[in-house]
Amino acid sequence: MEYLLEINDLRTRFYTDEGVVHAVNGISYALEEGEILGVVGESGCGKSVHALSVMRLIPSPPGKIESGKIVFAGRDLLHLSGNEMRHIRGSEIAMVFQDPMTSLNPVFTIGYQIMEALILHQGMDKNQAKDRAGELLTLVGIPAAWQRLDDYPHQFSGGMRQRAMIAMALSCNPKLLIADEPTTALDVTIQAQIIELVKRLQQNLGMAVMWITHDLGVVAELAHRINVMYAGYIVERGKARDIFKRTRHPYTQGLLGSLPRIDEAPGTKLISIPGLPPDLIDLPTGCPFAARCDYAEDQCWESMPALEETDGQGHTVACWRWKYVAGEETS
């Protein structure tokens, strides 16, 4: 099968005065055309750094993509020149960031910023670009779209700014949209609207989506497949329904246990994961989750498990004791 995006053994480091930060540690996976992938994990687990690596936006120095392959539509992005990557960014791969107020330029109108991408990547003249910009704002649900083209970012609400960012990202019909926690700064009602908008646009346009979040509740209703990341590793990967119904990794169990559920009895306590994530400058020799894990044994402290197929359906997990976690073995 040909994949839209294939990542193989990607490793990204940051060289700081305190030491080398091991931000992404040999992750591998593939993304199909039209697929929605959820990338979840707590802050600092490498979700955003891995996405910025795909976009070749790691600041250097101090950051560096040490090794690996990032094959997008048949091309290894790590072997392209800076100029070739600029043509891919925005036109074939687009990214929506967490805070639209810091992503939009406050001194240029919304219309100008959308038109700029259309003129640069699509070769449109100003009139064509303005018409298309109005269509895009309409597509993402902004009322009186053509009149709002002359507004500045501060004249938009938070939800409307995020919609404008999505319009900008979609302007050149990308094959892949990377959304890096795009609803975190928004209230719950607006979050739901943005999620529904992205689902609708994905279905209509057929693009692939990588949705990065710390909230498993969001990806439950959005993603086809989920990568669970911890300390720069993918520790569990599978179809969304399998991740929720047949959890194999104790970290994923902890994330799910911390979510409130409407089908639980009143007064049921949420589960918390004890301890803190490991220091990425001084990663442990074995499994990075061992110090916080109720299932850990000697082997867990000695070596990091590789991702292992659990069911023949693409559900993989990096855990020495996944059968115990899943309840398939008792001793």
pLDDT at 197 (0 to 100): 81
Amino acid of residue 251:
Y
Give pLDDT tens digits for 104-162: 888 999 999 888 888 887 888 899 989 989 988 888 888 888 889 999 999 888 888 88
**Contact at 8 Å (CB) between 93 and 208?**
no
Give pLDDT tens digits for 287-325: 999 999 988 899 999 999 999 998 878 899 999 988 888
The sign of the dihedral angle between the CA atoms of 145, 148, 149, 155 is negative
User: What secondary structure letter does DSSP report for 89?
Assistant: B
Of 172, 222, 171, the closest CA to residue 195 belongs to 222
At 92, list the tokens: 């074939």
pLDDT at 123 (0 to 100): 82
pLDDT at 263 (0 to 100): 64
Give pLDDT tens digits for 204-260: 888 999 999 888 888 888 899 999 999 999 999 999 999 988 899 999 988 888 777
Task: Find where tokens 């710390």 sit.
Answer: 214
| Distance in angstroms (rounded) separating the CA atoms of residues 331 and 323 | 10
Q: Stretch 13-31: mean pLDDT, rounded?
A: 94
Strands (DSSP E) contained in the chain are: 5-15, 20-31, 36-40, 63-72, 75-76, 93-96, 176-180, 208-213, 225-230, 233-239, 308-309, 316-317
**Contact at 8 Å (CB) between 208 and 5?**
yes
| Distance in angstroms (rounded) separating the CA atoms of residues 271 and 208 | 33
Angle between helices 158-170 and 110-122 (to 10 degrees): 10
> pTM (2 decimals)?
0.89
